[in-house]
Amino acid sequence: MSLFKSWQEQAYVERTQEEHNEFWGEYLPKEQKNYEYILENKEETIEGSLTELSKKFDMDPVTFTGFLDGINTSLTEELDLDSLTEESHIKLSIDFEKLYYNMLAAKADWLYNLPQWDNILTLQRRKEIKKEYNRSRIVVNNNKIGRNEPCPCGSGKKYKKCCLNK
């Protein structure tokens, strides 16, 4: 079984709320430590075998594969997670603006509020990325019903005389 499949079975198995809290309570601080290191050492190219990197970040290979799953869409070249083995060579070339955006999308406030971001993105740029993210979340309905159009409920009345007043 691939490392990625093992991770998915560990992370997304059905659990009680207590077991869920315990699993993620152990994983999330490790993830935060990884991001703190990556942000503090933004100039460092992080590369090596999956086993070497998992040891460097104090995780087992399956858990580190879960971390790679989380950061994958923020890399300049995404990894093929399904084909990863312990010997796979990994190079983490991170697009930090994309990473910040993805942390916003994941609602990971413990990550996008890390003080290490101050040395990577200016406060102004982080606000711009936040605006871009918020703009992407707005739903625009182009199928607005006019007051004088027939009501979509099929009554035959004008919308303003039918469902608009309910």
Q: Average pLDDT of 132-155? A: 86
**Could you give the number of structural domains in the chain?**
1
Average the pLDDT over 79-83 and give the result: 94
The answer to whether position 31 is within a domain reads: yes
C-alpha closest to that of 79 among 95, 64, 60, 92: 92
Query: What pLDDT sits at residue 100?
Result: 96
Domain contains 153? no
Beta strands in the chain (DSSP E): 46-49, 89-92
The mean pLDDT of 108-133, rounded to a whole number, is 95
Q: Establish if 82 belongs to a structural domain.
A: yes
What pLDDT was estimated at residue 11? 93
Q: Over the chain, what is the mean pLDDT?
A: 93
Q: Higher-confidence residue: 146 or 6?
A: 6
Average confidence (pLDDT) over 102-107: 95
At 153 the pLDDT is 86
User: Tens digits of per-residue pLDDT, 7-60?
Assistant: 999 999 999 999 999 999 999 999 999 999 999 999 998 999 999 999 999 999
Residue 113 belongs to a domain: yes
User: Would you say residue 166 has pLDDT above 70?
Assistant: no
The percent of residues above 70 in pLDDT, for the chain, comes to 99
Residue 107: is its pLDDT beyond 90?
yes
Count the neighbouring beta carbons within 10 Å of the beta carbon of residue 122.
11
Asked if residue 10 is part of any domain, the answer here is yes
Whether 149 is covered by a domain: the verdict is no
Confidence class for position 98, pLDDT limits 50, 70, 90: very high
Beta strands 46-49 and 89-92: pairing type? antiparallel
State the residue range of the domain holding 40: 3-137
Would residue 163 count as lying in a domain?
no
| pLDDT tier, 161 (very low <50, low <70, confident <90, very high otherwise) | confident
162 inside domain: no
CA separation for the pair 135, 72 (Å, rounded) = 23
